[in-house]
Every structure is written in C-alpha cells, then in structure tokens.
C-alpha cells in the first residue's frame, strides 16, 4: 500500500495530576503556574502513529498543536517521542480561550490539505474540556471515513481495520483511506522519550504559523457564560444496622 | 516549578523522568524497602530511557549527556526511590564513570556498552573494614606475577556487589608508597578468588544491595589496570569529586520527596478543628524546607554546570554535597515531625525518607575536603 503521511494532534492541557481550580471571576480555570503536559489521549495517538512508522507503514509523522507559545514544549515532547516534525499553529490570549473543536477541526483540515496527509490520528477527547468532537468534525469537513474510540488499529489491504470501544463491547470496522482515527485509552501504552531522542528532538523542524496563514476563520460560535465548581459533596453519616439504614432512606424520601 | 534555570531539553528530561519515576518506580519503593530485593525492573526502565549510561559517550553505548542532565535525572529517581538512586550512582557515577574517565580505549569498548545498557551492573570497591574516610590507608594488596596482579584482602560496604558483573577495585602494590602505590583495576564478577558476602540490616536504602568483597589470590590481568601504575588514588579522587554531584542531586530528591509528603499531610490533617497547614508554626517549617531544598538544588546545578564547562569544581562539588545532605536529613526529620505518629510507621513514606536520608551524611564526608581545599586556596 502507499505509505501514509500521518498528522497527529497534540494538545497542551493541564496535567492530569493537578487539582484544577476555578478562577474567582468564573471565566475559566486557573492555568498560570500550573503544570501542563500533552493530553494523555494524544500521547496514545502519537504512539500509534510512531508505531506505524516503525512498521514502515507510515513514511512521516507530523505533530500539530494549536495554542499559545508554550505549546512548543508539548511539540518538543512529541518530537522526542518519535514525530518527524512539528507544526505550531499559534492561537493565544482571548482567541485561544474561545478556540472550540470546530475551530481546531478547520485548522487540521487545512493542514491535511497543505501537508497532503492521508491519515489523521487524534485523541478521542482532551482531558481539559472533554469535548470529544474534534475528530468527528474533522472527518465531516474532509468527508473522510472515521473510526473513533479505537483500541486496535492495523493495516488491511488498502485500508485500516480498527477495533472500536463502544458501549456494548467491541466493534470491528474496516475503513478506506484517507481516514480519521481517534484513540481510546487501551490502544497502546505510550513510550517515554529517551534521553538521546530528547537531544535529537532539538534538531527536528518545528514550523510556526497562524490560522490566518491557513486561511481559517476560528471565530467561536459559542460563548462561555460561566465556569462553576462541581457541587461540594455533603459529608455522609454512619448507620448502626440495616433497620436504621432503611429508616434513614425512608426519611429522605428515597425509599 | 523552578524551571527557569533549566534549558528546554533539561525541562523535557525532568518531566519525562518524573513521569516515569512517578508511575513506575515510586509505587514499588515501599515494597523494595521491605523486601530488600534489588530493583532490577527499575534498572530496566532506566536503561530504556537511556539513563544508565547518561554521562557515557555515545560511541561507548551511552547517551552522551551532561552532568546537568545527570543531576536532573538523579533527583527525580531519588525522589521516587532513594535506594534505586544509590545503586544507580554506584553503577554509573562510580563504576562506569571511572572506566570512562581513566580506562584505555580497549577497556572502554569492552566494558562500557554493557554497563550503559544495564546488561551488566557495576560496583566500585574502595572502602575496607579498616579504611573508609582514610581510603589511602587500604590494605588490599595487588602483587605482580607474570603479567597479572594477584589480589588479597577485603573490601566492605560495596554497593551493588551481589549483582555486579564489573567491579572497579582499588588495591596497593606497595603500602610503603602510600597513596602512590595504589592501582585501579577492572575485575569481572565471576573472577576466581573473588567472593561476595551480602551485608544485612541496613537502616535505609535497603533495596540497594551492599556486601563485603573478599579477594583470595584473585588474579587479574595487568591489562585491566586503568592508567599508570600508582595512579589509582589520584584517579579515584577525581571520580569521587564527580560523584558528589550525583550524591548531592540524590539528596535534593530525597528532601523533595519528604517535603511533598509533609505538604500533602498538613493540608488534610485537622487536629483541634484546624488544618495543620493553617498554623503559622507549620507554615514556617514548610517555607524553610522549600527554601533550603531550592538552595541545595541551585548548588547542585551550579557545580554540574561547572563540570560541564570543564572548570575546576572540587570545592563546589563538596559544598553542594555537604549542604544537600544536611538539607535531606533535616527535611526528612521535619517531615516525620509534621506527620506525627503516622510519620513514624510505614506505610507513610516519611519514615523511609528519614532512614534513607541519613546515609548521605556518611558517604564520603566532605566537610574535610572543603576545609582542606579552602585552606589550600587561601
Ligand atoms: C549505604 C552505604 C553504601 C556504600 N557504598 C560504598 C561503595 O559502593 N563503595 C565503597 O567503596 N564504599 C561504600 N560505602 C562506604 C562509605 O564510603 C564509607 O562508609 C564512608 O567513606 C565512611 O567511612 P567509614 O565508614 O570507614 O567511617 P570512618 O572513616 O571510620 O569515619 C567515622 C566518622 O568519623 C568522621 N571522620 C573520619 N575522619 C575524620 C577526620 N579526619 N576529621 C573529622 N571527621 C572524620 C567521618 O566523617 C565519620 O562521620 C558505603 C557505605 C554505606 C553506608
């Protein structure tokens, strides 16, 4: 089969271990001085792409990140993990606050054309906004087949065989290329970058551009009114025995 | 956190090693402390990341990294499991580094690639029952006999000895020559006449094995000597100087772990209806710890930068080691204190940090070196 040029999305998000706090003015969450890292599902997507390259199915892996200058750190990680080059689409300040999945999907669609990519692998969702939309929107914009929530990907003939994690179990699908695949948790275990690869990553190309350069309009169609903390769970109480439990449940109208 | 004085690749290394250490090494630390088994799986992971040969040149199978990168990596490993970092330091900064600095081209090609990839574990045998700080007074003899040396004597407190396939051993061919009679030799673990008696009952660093090594007419080829005859002690001093960078970074890692455990404890413990973290006495302790740890880290990064730049660094290495080991012991002590009763018992890690920290003040005590070097420099 023809060799794949794979585009991988690498979003910079607040690290999963950080306890997220809502800003006092409720416009969002506190991001300053907080540890950020690559969205874990994107790490999985990248790992899959790098494995395709190692199996010589893919000829090139291109990592993309849309966001402020600091995204270049995330892209360096991607390069150290095995991407061949990186594209940083700079979106900052209030524009970045308002960047929605549709905006990102439009940027990716433009890059797919520019780079002549024929496979896009994204995380199924980002752990900050949990949107789970970008992959689907991108497939629609490109009019490509999509396989979301992938837990296994292999090349079959001129297309891909993908196992999807769906509510009832696993679904096996076959799709023709070009295509969009989004990675679920069990697709693979991403590698750690090795020190020699970290040093080599400095020499790999990282190109910078803006949505305007790509002719993409990312004006949001949605405004965030306020971001709230989840309700605080009230303390529970202990009961002595089953009778007391039932009495309590009756009192509270559950039973 | 304090990332501004790290370069982009150092920061990336720090994050990578931290991720690895948090998810692979830290969860196993308490178990290894209890069993005292050697952490082979940690070594395997460190090998995969290219850490085992971090400061060894790429042509000998290493990663060709800098001492700043080494300091970053050691701190993160020690923060997760100090015992693993002790074995790592003995392996890389004492054994492999010795061969890298003083070995012939042939010795480097023969021994370094398998040390750098972890296939072989390395040990460094200097201390003897009768000579620790005063290493020059060693009694292990290396007697020449037809192109070989015959070793007799014993070494003690040798980290990694039970697992090691490669030993760097210091022995004297003429005690009258004092330090000028000492030679550095590379020995293989399975040499006839070399036996290893594991030592039990360590206070801390329990997963890092330690043993007595006994030589009885143990033959080693003259070709395995590093440098000229009689140069072994001078070589050793230089290797020990470099290794202080690693030990100091290890201290920072232990202190950081003790600090983090303390912070998370005082944020949730509420005696008398108020969180410990809200008490000013506790806040002072936390602020002090954080400041001391950062100061120690800066001393470590300073000496690492000097080593990387090829500048003299003996005094700065000793200062970093001296200061950082005090900070480690103090931070571990304060951490136990803030934990109260729970800090005295496993599974709270505070008691392990406390036991692990203490040895850093014993290893290669450096107050003396600083005093001597400062006087010499007048
Ligand atoms: C966990 C562990 C791992 C080790 N790993 C290794 C290893 O891999 N290889 C190896 O060769 N050795 C190793 N050692 C040995 C270690 O380097 C020595 O224990 C250390 O150098 C101290 O020597 P000593 O025990 O003989 O103490 P001594 O030299 O007897 O010193 C006792 C005390 O007196 C102090 N002291 C000594 N001389 C003076 C002086 N002139 N002025 C002021 N104070 C002084 C010392 O600082 C120390 O506090 C290890 C030790 C431990 C505990």
Residue B134: exposure state from Cβ atoms within 10 A (0-12, 13-18, ≥19):
exposed
**Percent of chain B residues topping a pLDDT of 70:** 95
The answer to whether the beta carbons of residues A121 and A78 sit under 8 Å apart is no
Give residue B374's pLDDT band: very low, low, confident or very high (50, 70, 90): low
Task: Among 3.40.50.10490, 3.10.180.10, 3.40.50.620, 3.40.50.300, name the CATH number for the domain at A4-230.
Answer: 3.40.50.620
- Residue B65: its chain A contacts at CB < 8 A? 195, 199
Per-residue confidence (pLDDT) for residue B376, from 0 to 100: 64
Locate tokens 């070196």: which residue?
B369
Among B365, B367, B368, B370, which is best to mutate for testing ligand 1, by the most ligand atoms less than 8 A from CB?
Answer: B365
- Condensed to tens digits (0 to 9), the pLDDT of residues A64-83 reads 999 999 999 999 999 999 99
**The model's pTM:** 0.91
Best probe of the A interface among B3, B7, B49, by most A CBs < 10 A, is B49
User: Inter-axis angle of helices A71-81 and A40-54, to 10 degrees?
Assistant: 30
- Cα angle B35, B40, B43 (rounded to 5 degrees) comes to 130
**Chains A, B: CB contacts under 8 A, how many?**
53
CATH 1.20.140.10 residue ranges for chain B: 233-376
The ipTM is: 0.87
* Residue range B58-110, pLDDT digits in tens: 999 999 999 999 999 999 999 999 999 999 999 999 999 999 999 999 999 99
A73 touches chain B (CB under 8 A): yes
- Looking at residue A161, the DSSP 8-state letter turns out to be E
A138, A137, A134: which is closest to A111 by C-alpha? A138
User: Is the pLDDT reported for residue B272 higher than 90?
Assistant: no
Sign of the dihedral defined by the CA atoms of residues B264, B268, B269, B271, in that order: positive
Does residue B371 register a pLDDT over 80? no
Residues of chain A with pLDDT below 70 are 1-2
What distance in Å separates the CA atoms of residue B47 and residue B54, rounded to the nearest whole number?
A: 9
Mutational test site, ligand 1, from B84, B97, B122, B127, max ligand atoms within 8 Å of CB: B127
Give the per-residue pLDDT at B368.
Answer: 66
Q: Do A195 and B11 touch (CB under 8 A)?
A: no
CATH topology of domain B3-116: Butyryl-Coa Dehydrogenase, subunit A; domain 1 (1.10.540)
Q: Do B12 and A76 touch (CB under 8 A)?
A: yes
pLDDT at B375: 65
Contact yes or no for A122/A138 (Cβ under 8 A): yes
pLDDT at A69: 96
pLDDT, one tens digit per residue, over B12-53 is 999 999 999 999 999 999 999 999 999 999 999 999 999 999
Interchain CB contact of A21 with B (< 8 Å): no
Whole-number pLDDT of residue B2? 47
SS3 at position A121: strand
Cα–Cα distance between B37 and B77 in angstroms, integer?
17
Contact indicator for A145, A161 with CB cutoff of 8 Å: no
Note whether A92 and A31 are within 8 A (CB): no
Distance CA A178, CA B119 (A): 43
Q: Which residue of B has its CA nearest to A74?
A: B12
CB contact under 8 A, A192 and B48: yes
B16–A77 CB contact, under 8 Å = yes
pLDDT score of B378: 44
CATH of domain B122-228: 2.40.110.10
Contact A202 B15 (CB under 8 A): no
Cβ contacts of B377 within 8 Å, gap of 6 or more: B315
Burial of A6 (C-beta count, 10 Å sphere; 0-12/13-18/19+)? buried
Residues of A in contact with B1 (CB under 8 A): 35
Q: Does residue B142 contact residue B173 with C-beta atoms inside 8 Å? A: yes
Tell me, what's the pLDDT at A221? Answer: 82
The pLDDT score that the predictor gives to residue B134 is 87
**pLDDT-above-90 percentage for chain B:** 89
Task: Give me the CATH code for the B233-376 domain, please.
Answer: 1.20.140.10
Check residues B145 and B196 and name the one with the higher pLDDT. B196
**Mean pLDDT, rounded, for B189-211:** 96
Kindly tell me if the per-residue pLDDT of B242 is higher than 70.
Answer: yes
Question: Residues enclosing ligand 1, CB less than 6 A?
Answer: B 90, 124-127, 132-134, 157-159, 205, 210, 359, 362-365, 368
- The alpha carbon of residue B342 is apart from the nearest alpha carbon of chain A, in Å, by 24
Q: Decide if B12 and A80 are in contact by the 8 Å CB cutoff.
A: yes
Query: Where are the domains positioned within chain A?
Result: 4-230
- Backbone dihedral region for residue B135 (phi beyond 0: left; psi -120 to 50: alpha; all else: beta): alpha
**With left for phi above 0 and alpha for psi between -120 and 50, is residue B101 left, alpha or beta?**
alpha
State chain B's mean pLDDT as an integer.
94
Closest CA to A98 of A229, A12, A225, A219: A219
Rounded (10°) angle between helices B314-339 and B367-377 = 150
Q: Which of B362, B364, B368 to mutate to test the pocket of ligand 1 (most atoms within 8 A of CB)?
A: B362
Q: Which one, of B125, B89, B131, B95, lies nearest residue B321 by Cα?
A: B89
Q: What local confidence, expressed as pLDDT, does residue A252 receive?
A: 85
CATH 2.40.110.10 segments of chain B: 122-228
Q: Residue B259, Cβ neighbours under 10 Å: how many?
A: 23
């Amino acid at each position: 089969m023809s060799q794949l040029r794979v585009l991988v999305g690498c979003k910079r998000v607040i690290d999963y271990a950080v306890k997220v706090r809502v800003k006092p003015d409720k416009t969002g969450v506190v991001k300053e001085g907080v540890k950020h890292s690559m969205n874990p599902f994107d790490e999985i997507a990248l790992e899959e792409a790098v494995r395709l390259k190692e199996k010589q199915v893919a000829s090139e892996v291109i990592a993309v990140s849309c966001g402020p200058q600091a995204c270049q750190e995330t892209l360096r990680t991607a390069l150290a993990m095995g991407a061949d080059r990186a594209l940083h689409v700079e979106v900052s300040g209030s524009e970045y606050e308002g960047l929605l999945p549709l905006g990102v999907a439009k940027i990716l669609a433009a890059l797919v054309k520019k780079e002549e990519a024929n496979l896009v692998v994204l995380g199924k969702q980002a752990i900050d906004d949990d949107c789970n939309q970008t992959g689907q929107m991108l497939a629609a914009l490109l009019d490509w087949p999509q396989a979301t929530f992938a837990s296994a990907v292999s090349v079959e003939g001129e297309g891909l065989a993908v196992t999807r994690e769906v509510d009832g179990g696993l679904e096996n699908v076959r799709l023709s290329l070009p295509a969009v695949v989004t990675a679920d948790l069990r697709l693979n275990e991403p590698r750690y970058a090795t020190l020699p690869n970290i040093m080599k990553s400095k020499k790999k190309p990282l190109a910078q551009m803006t949505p305007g350069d790509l002719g993409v309009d990312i004006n949001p169609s949605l405004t965030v009114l306020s971001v709230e903390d989840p309700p605080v769970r009230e303390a529970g109480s202990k009961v002595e025995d089953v009778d007391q439990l039932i009495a309590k449940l009756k009192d509270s109208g559950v039973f | 956190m304090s990332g501004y004085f790290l370069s982009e690749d150092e920061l990336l290394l720090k994050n990578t090693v931290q991720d690895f250490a948090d998810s692979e090494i830290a969860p196993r630390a308490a178990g290894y402390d209890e069993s005292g088994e050697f952490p082979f799986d940690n070594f395997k992971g460190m090998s995969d990341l290219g850490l085992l040969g971090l400061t060894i040149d790429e042509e000998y199978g290493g990663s060709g990294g800098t001492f700043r990168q080494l300091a970053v990596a050691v701190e993160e490993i020690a923060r997760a499991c100090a015992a693993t970092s002790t074995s790592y330091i003995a392996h890389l900064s004492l054994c492999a580094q010795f061969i890298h600095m003083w070995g012939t081209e042939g010795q480097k090609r023969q021994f370094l690639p398998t040390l750098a990839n972890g296939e072989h574990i390395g040990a460094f045998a200097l201390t003897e029952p009768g000579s620790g700080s005063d290493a020059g007074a060693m009694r292990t003899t290396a007697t020449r006999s037809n192109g070989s040396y015959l070793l007799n004597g014993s070494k003690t407190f040798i980290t990694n000895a039970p697992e090691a396939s490669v030993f760097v051993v210091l022995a004297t061919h003429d005690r009258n020559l004092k330090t000028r009679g000492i030679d550095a030799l590379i020995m293989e673990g399975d040499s006839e006449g070399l036996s290893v008696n594991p030592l039990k009952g360590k206070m801390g660093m329990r997963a890092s094995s330690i043993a007595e090594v006994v030589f009885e007419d143990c033959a080693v080829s003259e070709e395995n000597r590093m440098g000229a005859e009689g140069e072994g002690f001078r070589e050793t001093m230089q290797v020990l100087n470099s290794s202080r960078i690693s030990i100091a970074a290890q201290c920072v890692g232990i202190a950081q772990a003790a600090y983090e455990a303390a912070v998370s404890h005082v944020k949730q413990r509420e005696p008398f209806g108020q969180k410990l973290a809200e008490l000013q006495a506790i806040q002072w302790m936390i602020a002090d710890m954080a400041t001391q740890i950062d100061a120690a880290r800066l001393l470590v990064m300073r000496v690492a930068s000097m080593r990387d730049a090829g500048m003299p660094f003996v005094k700065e290495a000793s200062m970093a080691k001296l200061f950082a080991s005090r900070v480690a012991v103090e931070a571990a002590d304060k951490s136990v204190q803030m934990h109260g009763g729970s800090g005295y018992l496993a599974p709270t890690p505070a008691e392990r940090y406390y036991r692990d920290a203490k040895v850093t003040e014993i290893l290669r005590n450096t107050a003396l070196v600083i005093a001597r070097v400062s006087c010499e420099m007048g």
